[in-house]
């Protein structure tokens, strides 16, 4: 299954970009990052059976184990692509939220979208590690 991060805004050369690169290089599942302009631009076409996860302040707050198990379930049921959408500063509208399969939030605080990208990359790496059977110190 392809893990596809689709993010608004160019991350450029920044501390956040270094964090994203650090964690994306460790991913054991196929992955891709697509950057869109802050406004406009179209999402790349989605293959049939794509799961869409939107990072949104109104989303569920999942623990790392639950997040990993959701990815595992999608992978094991034949999902070809799981795309993770990160909006620009204004986030997403109600119509966009309604089209997502899952809304997730990294806590009740507001995070800059560049930090959200780094945090997502880390959680995807952590999920891959959990699914590969590496011990997770918070399990139990």
**Is residue 87 marked as binding?**
yes
Residue 108 among known ligand-binding residues? yes
Q: Is 55 annotated as a binding residue?
A: yes
Q: Are 71 and 30 in contact (CB under 8 A)?
A: no
107 is in an annotated binding site: yes
The torsion angle over the Cα atoms of residues 85, 11, 119 and 134, rounded to 10 degrees, is: 100
Annotated binding residue 112:
no
Confirm or deny that 49 is annotated as ligand binding.
no
- Residues tagged in the binding site annotation for S-adenosyl-L-methionine: 55, 87, 106-111
Binding site: which residues?
55, 87, 106-111
């Amino acid at each position: 299954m392809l893990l596809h991060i689709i993010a608004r805004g160019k991350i450029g050369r920044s501390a956040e970009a270094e964090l994203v690169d650090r964690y994306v290089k460790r991913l054991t599942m196929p992955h891709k990052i697509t950057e869109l302009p802050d406004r406009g631009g179209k999402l790349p076409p989605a293959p049939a059976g794509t799961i869409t996860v939107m990072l949104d302040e109104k989303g569920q707050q999942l623990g790392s184990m639950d997040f990993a198990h959701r990815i595992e379930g999608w992978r094991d049921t034949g999902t070809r692509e799981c795309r993770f959408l990160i909006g620009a500063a204004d986030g997403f509208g109600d119509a966009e939220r309604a089209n997502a399969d899952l809304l997730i939030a990294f806590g009740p605080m507001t995070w800059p979208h560049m930090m959200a990208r780094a945090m997502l990359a880390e959680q995807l790496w952590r999920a891959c590690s959990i699914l590969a059977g590496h011990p997770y110190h918070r399990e139990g």
